[in-house]
A = this chain, B = another copy of it.
Amino acid sequence: MDAVDRRLLAELQADARLSYNELSRRVSLSAPAVAERVRRLEADGVISGYHAHVDPTRAGLPITALVQIQCYGPRCLLRDPEVATWPEVLQLHRVTGGACCVLLVAVPTMAEFEALCDRLGAYGQPSSSMILSSPVPWRPLAPR
């Protein structure tokens, strides 16, 4: 991974819909050369995907929260592949510390959040932090 690859990653993280033509202008390389580099970054798994980001509130999901769960050993949430498919679960991380895992969730109403907490309660003790605002909802990675 050289300086040009890092430039390409920065541009595509900022705007995933840039054309190879526009990218080629920005990194001063021909379009085919850019296309080949990008395909290599995709094949190597450096780029894991291209995603439109949707504002949860404007999409009708104004309640977002970080939920830590202290799982009941054998009933651990991480052992149930079903949970990763729940539409409320935007992120799921296995972590060290008091909790077993942390979920970022988004729901339309408090009633649905309560129902989700009940469902999560089957796996362990949930502890929720409601998100008031997200000064940085996402930021591009600066590769080393």
Contacts and interface: CB of A to CB of B under 8 A. Distances in A.
B58 A53 contact: no
A135 B53 contact: no
Interface in A79-99: 84, 87, 89-97, 99
Given A60-B144, A131-B95, A143-B59, A52 B50 contact: yes
Contacts of A61: 141, 143-144
Contacts of A136: 84, 89-92
A49 to B, nearest CB: 5
A78 interface: yes
A139 B78 CA distance: 16
A129 B129 CA distance: 15
Contacts of A15: 49-51
A140 to B, nearest CB: 7
Interface of A: 9, 12-17, 44-56, 58-61, 65-66, 78, 84, 87, 89-97, 99, 102, 106, 108, 127-144
12 contacts: A16-B52, A17-B17, A45-B58, A46-B54, A47-B54, A51-B53, A61-B144, A66-B93, A89-B139, A91-B139, A94-B133, A94-B134
